[in-house]
Amino acid sequence: MKTPQSLASLDQQRTGIASQIAAPGDLRSGSVTPTTGRCGRPNCHCHQLNDPGHVPISAYLRPNPGERAH
């Protein structure tokens, strides 16, 4: 059975979590998006009819300097 924590202990824990969330950390412009698709190997399963392709991977897309966002 779990013992109840005091209100002061819970408040201290909440304050610690809130400060971790508020810390900006490593911020970069761009986006991370899941992508699927076909590879460059013509004999791969991903080139077969009705094959969904390879599993989604996360791709980091960053803006090119000097280009406008659409």
38 CB-contact burial (10 Å; exposed 0-12 / middle 13-18 / buried 19+) = middle
At residue 12, the pLDDT reads 93
pLDDT tens over the chain, length 70 residues: 566 678 889 999 999 999 988 888 777 778 888 888 888 898 999 899 888 888 888 888 887 777 775 5
Question: Is position 55 within any domain?
Answer: yes
According to the model, what pLDDT value does residue 3 have? 63
For the whole model, what pTM was predicted?
0.35
Q: Which domain holds residue 36?
A: 28-64
Query: What total of structural domains would you count in the chain?
Result: 1
Asked if residue 17 belongs to a domain, the reply is no
Output the pLDDT for position 35.
Answer: 81
Taking the C-alpha atoms of residue 61 and residue 6, their distance in angstroms, rounded to an integer, is 46
